[in-house]
Structure 1
Amino acid sequence: MTKPIIIDCDPGHDDAIAILLALANPQHLEVKAITTVGGNQVLDKITDNALKLLSFIDADIPVAKGAAGPLLGQLVTGEEAHGDSGMDGPDLPPSRFKPVEKHAIELMADIIRSSDKKITLVPIGPLTNIALLLRAFPDVAANIEEISLMGGGIGYGNVTSTAEFNIYVDPEAARIVYESGIPITMSGLDVTDKAPIFQDEIKALKERGEVSHMVGELLDFYSIYSRKLGYEGSSLHDPCAIGWLLRPDLFTGQCYHVEIETSGRATRGMTVADRRKVTEGVNNVRVLTDVNRDAFMELIFDALDFHDRNAAARKAKV
């Protein structure tokens, strides 16, 4: 059965790969819309990146702009990892598409309310849009199946020693989402750092078809920051949230009561999991902790093969 999803994102190199992975599996996932949120770069840049990507693969999907910054304070971007454009590397042509006029949360609410199947939300950026959606339109929660998100980490952080980027950018929004009562599967650093792509695999991508080559160029740039941090490979963070929906058998996880820390000099943005045998709170999050990396990478390569074939077929028609 096809699962209808909305991807909320801030492209972002790994966001782009997550989108490609979802769109390569139409027999399993129906991407109803893509919404954007300020995160890896400012809102206009990441929205343009989403539109360029969709235009590049000829996928006419509604794109709506959402929140430009967090609920409180100023936006912190991921420019050091993602570059000035937010998706530096390949030189993608200008998009043929434009965003819809509705705000992201209005588009999400309309889709969720009108759907005869429950919608799965896939936020792979800061959780600002999702928090605003739940606060502005609380009725939609009844028709949300699950939230499969990329964010957090119960062992460590990457912006600080305790906080992962997506949660750190807007912990107040994350707290609203984590306390919503909607089932949450969290692809945090605990699992995403176990899904790296290595230089030989990036090189192989660049020797394949048009879309694979473009992704190889994305990863060439993305891997610069990974190597700077001392990693051997580049973690494919955001695609894990899509991978879970496609192949949950590839992942290992554990349910915990998870809270979001919104204060504390060293802990703001921390995802705090109660891992005691007897806990005080109800388990609210499935935390993914491991993945079959080789099988996951095969899923990524198969998805890119799908897009390469489609690109070749389009060229053959011209």
Structure 2
Amino acid sequence: MEKVILDVDTGIDDALAILLALESKQLDVLGITAVNGNVPLDYVMRNSKKVLKHMGNDEINVFRGASHPILKESFHEFRVHGADGLGGALQDIEVDETEPGIFAPDFIIEQVQKYPGEVTLIMVGPLTNLALALRKEPRLSKWVKQVVVMGGLISEGGQGNVLPTSEFNMFADAEAAKIVFHSGSPVKLVSLDVTMKTFLTKEHVEWLHGTKYYDFIKESTEIYRALSEQKIGINGCALHDPLTVGVVLDPTLVTTAKYFVDVETKSDLSYGQTICDFKNLWNQTPNVEICLTVDHERFITLFLDRVKR
């Protein structure tokens, strides 16, 4: 099985990504690293542990990471994920507050150094933890197998979810993303261009009726689905983070190409924008493998199949 570390800011779609990663039975999850993002870090720790306990996998360690971005003030998305980050689900689950005595960036360095060329980092939150790890140990970029990132917006200008040109994970810590993109790490970017085509609809949720996770998925995604219906007329939850896990499980779900990509960190109008130089106007070496298309129907089928099991 492929060795992975799952870096999360749990949130609703992060929770679904954890479900998919573990229920796929294809990944050796070395640990989960938590980062400030969708909700504050304490919420992320608690939510991640709740999901693991609900699954019966609470032996997997959750490592506390960065509690704030590298430079900017924290930005959270309670309107999407609810007051607790899980849309009010799993309220009755109590979790052990004990934590491993290692900082998440140090855990990333430790594991990638221990298994050089074998570890995939699945990054579905702001990239603060990885940026800190790379600053401490630049050789990490040569040791890691691949870094699969949920974030950014490449071709769908004006379709961002924080600013017209910016996606949340990039906007939450653009300086961290810039460090990662320029580190020499093998980065694959799963952006809104493809994730916004993968909706878990109300009808899909009902297909899970009678299965272990039906109640959790129905309850947790309700606020997210309602917001999507209000904004774009679809009662559904875009599977941003689960698709990122899906791309690791089955790379043929997407078509990709490698280009030079940079991140805007100075403009008030476009902070966090991921800019792809399709025509090589900057004459720079390609540094990011971007996703061009997604077989969204096959991915939704994969997600439902794994979660049903």
Corresponding residue to 1:218 among 212, 216, 220 = 220
Corresponding residue for residue 260 of structure 1:
263
Q: Which residue of 2 aligns with 1:84?
A: 83
The 5-angstrom pairing of residues 80-159 of structure 1 reads: 80-92=79-91, 93-96=93-96, 98-115=98-115, 117-154=117-154, 155-156=156-157, 157-159=160-162
Residue 204 of structure 1: CA displacement?
2.5
Q: Match of 1:229, SS?
A: helix
TM-score (norm 2): 0.94
Other-structure match for 1:244? 247
Distance between the aligned counterparts of 2:100 and 2:12, measured in 1?
23
Q: How far apart in 2 are the matches of 1:210 and 1:158?
A: 31
Matched to 1:49, the amino acid is: N
3-state SS of paired residue (1:265) = coil
Question: Which of 35, 53, 58 is matched with 1:55 structurally?
Answer: 53
> How many angstroms does 1:41 deviate by?
0.5
Deviation readout 1:130-181 (Å, 9 max, x if unpaired): 1000001223222201100100011232100111000001000000000011
Structure-2 residue corresponding to 1:275 = 278
The sequence identity of aligned pairs, in percent, is: 33
CA distance, structure 2, for counterparts of residue 140 and residue 181 of structure 1: 9
Q: Residue 5 of structure 2 aligns with which residue?
A: 6
Structure 1 residues 174 and 277: alpha-carbon distance in aligned structure 2, compared to 1, 3 A threshold: closer
Cα separation, partners in 2 of 1:174 and 1:220, compared to 1, 3 Å: same
- Encode CA deviations 1:228-269: one digit per residue, 9 max, x unaligned: 222413211011111111111121222211000101121110
Superposition RMSD in Å:
1.5
> What is the CA-CA distance between 1:278 and the residue it aligns to?
6.0
Could you report, residue by residue, the CA deviation over 1:184-237 in whole angstroms, capped at 9, with x for unpaired residues? 1111100000111112112232x1212233112222222122122224132110
On the 8 A contact 1:46/1:85 being kept in 2, the answer is no
Gaps of 5+ in 2: none
**Which residue pairs with 1:30 in the alignment?**
28
Partner of 2:302: 299
Per the alignment, residue 178 of structure 2 pairs with: 175
Report the TM-score when normalising by structure 1.
Answer: 0.91
Q: Deviations over 1:91-129 (max 9, x none)?
A: 341124733121111211221122265211111000000
Query: Which residue identity lines up with residue 52 of structure 1 in the other structure?
Result: K
Q: Which residue of structure 2 aligns with residue 204 of structure 1?
A: 207
Tell me how many residue pairs correspond in the alignment: 303
CA distance in 1, matches of 2:233, 2:28: 34
Change (3 A) 1:96 1:305: farther
In structure 1, stretches of 5+ residues that fail to align are 307-318
